[in-house]
Amino acid sequence: MKLSGFINSHTEQIIKEWESVARTLGAPANQLSTTALRDHVKIILQEIALDIVTVQSVKQQNDKIEGAAGMVADDGSAAATHGVLRQLSGFSLAQLTAEYRALRAIVLRLWLPKIGRVTEETTYDMVRFNEAIDHALAESVTTFSDQETRTRDTFLAILGHDLRSPLATMAMAGDSLSRLGQPKDSVRQIGARVVRSAATMNAMVNDLLEYARTQLGGKMPMMRAAVSIEEICKSALEDAGAAHPDCVFKLATSGNLVDCFDRDRLQQVFSNLLNNAAQYRTVAQPVTVFAEGGSDAIVVTVMNLGPVIPPKSLAAIFTPLVQLTVEGQTHSRPSTSLGLGLFIARQITEAHGGTITVESNETSGTVFTVILPRWKSIQ
């Protein structure tokens, strides 16, 4: 059986086996829906099958061997689009490459038993197949890298812009305080602005440090000790209140909330969730936190009423450097988000052996749910 015909007639079998391998690559591959994970794989296989039977000149073959054909990606190809989507979904370049490595191995493993013996024709098919899949990989890597560069440049622009605002506030506050004869009430207001700006900058720096740690491959250190989730939530509420003085925060608790956790890191989780909720809430509504202690886990929910987050945004909400967009926003967002807060919250939660999920609808608003298993249950 010719390889191109095998690929076209066994596409679903190939993709099914490929998906099982792809889900072993770790987050976010094992968290995507089947549709999102498979995205353009079927079309990539069809394009590879077509490439195998397409007549090519010696020059075209040499270009593929030398890599010239893959230097500029065809923006309309499935492989090129796949590269962009994988970068936006939070995949690493190593994970993207591993997807193609698995696809190559699965196709050859399934096809080779179908041929009686290796002939000149089958050898030619294998050469053309490897050329085609390498070309597709090159296109995906090129668009992945281009998108990563754009994302990084956008991130740096956001960082520069968002740090400028609190710095300007602190500079003006310092100038005001340097003048003699300021009334006490005025000094108090200036001090409050300095505190808010410092809280904003501190949150941004903390997120940057954690993001840098994850990108450098370092394992997140955990300092577990007996602590109350209620006390952690109260500290996080103080942080969020300093950054969002106009927002009302409410806390409700029930059950046993004491266990072994890393206090500082969980405070960062809840501070990030509260800051996010405060930015996207309906102005007149409070942000509500509810912590419930169960026998096997402690569950914390953070809820805000506001514009519904569309499914497309929800799918990428924990991806680093993604700026959340919602429909029907009625007020401007404060410039305090680098697109890292929710990513860091997920990383810390998973380091505790827990999970974090989000739902958004008109009735309940946007609800983040953090489930933290008790230390005894994961030892």
On whether both 239 and 326 belong to a single domain, the answer is yes
Domain with 20 in it = 3-151
**Tens digit of each residue's pLDDT (9 = 90 or more) over 126-168:** 999 999 999 999 999 999 998 888 777 766 666 665 666 667 6
On whether both 245 and 311 belong to a single domain, the answer is yes
Q: Residue 276 and residue 268: Cα distance in Å, rounded?
A: 12
Query: Is residue 371 included in any domain, yes or no?
Result: yes
On whether both 106 and 197 belong to a single domain, the answer is no
Query: Looking at residue 333, what is its pLDDT?
Result: 45
On whether both 172 and 137 belong to a single domain, the answer is no
| CATH code, 130 | 1.10.490
On whether both 142 and 160 belong to a single domain, the answer is no
Residue that terminates a domain, selected from 113, 132, 151: 151
On whether both 235 and 323 belong to a single domain, the answer is yes
Contact, 299 vs 355, CB < 8 A? no
On whether both 198 and 300 belong to a single domain, the answer is no
What the block records as the tokens of 363 is: 């009735």
Query: Is residue 180 included in any domain, yes or no?
Result: yes
Query: Looking at residue 351, what is its pLDDT?
Result: 87
Query: Is residue 17 included in any domain, yes or no?
Result: yes
Other C-beta atoms closer than 10 Å to the C-beta of 14 total 20
On whether both 119 and 162 belong to a single domain, the answer is no
On whether both 307 and 342 belong to a single domain, the answer is yes
Query: Looking at residue 71, what is its pLDDT?
Result: 47
Contact, 131 vs 137, CB < 8 A? no
Query: Looking at residue 46, what is its pLDDT?
Result: 95
Instruction: List the pLDDT tens digit at each of the 379 positions of the chain.
Output: 899 999 999 999 999 999 999 999 987 888 788 988 998 999 999 999 999 999 877 777 777 666 544 445 556 789 999 998 898 788 889 999 999 999 999 999 999 999 888 899 999 999 999 999 999 999 999 999 988 887 777 666 666 656 666 676 677 777 776 665 667 677 777 777 777 777 767 767 776 766 666 655 555 677 899 999 999 999 999 888 877 888 999 999 999 999 999 998 899 899 889 988 998 888 888 999 999 999 999 999 999 998 888 887 787 788 776 665 555 554 444 444 556 788 888 888 988 999 999 999 998 999 999 999 999 876 6
Quote the pTM value: 0.57
Query: Looking at residue 147, what is its pLDDT?
Result: 84
* Nearest alpha carbon to residue 102 among 24, 199, 219: 24
On whether both 38 and 146 belong to a single domain, the answer is yes
Query: Looking at residue 334, what is its pLDDT?
Result: 44
What the block records as the tokens of 27 is: 């987050």
Query: Looking at residue 335, what is its pLDDT?
Result: 43
On whether both 265 and 238 belong to a single domain, the answer is yes
Dihedral sign, CA of 98, 103, 108, 110? Answer: positive
Q: Residue 182 and residue 172: Cα distance in Å, rounded?
A: 14
Query: Is residue 79 included in any domain, yes or no?
Result: yes
Query: Is residue 99 included in any domain, yes or no?
Result: yes
Query: Is residue 220 included in any domain, yes or no?
Result: no
| CATH code, 369 | 3.30.565.10
Tally the domains of the chain: 3
Query: Is residue 184 included in any domain, yes or no?
Result: yes
On whether both 250 and 237 belong to a single domain, the answer is yes
10 Å CB burial of residue 183 (0-12, 13-18, 19+) is exposed
Query: Is residue 169 included in any domain, yes or no?
Result: yes
Residue that terminates a domain, selected from 110, 129, 151: 151
Residue that terminates a domain, selected from 130, 151, 172: 151
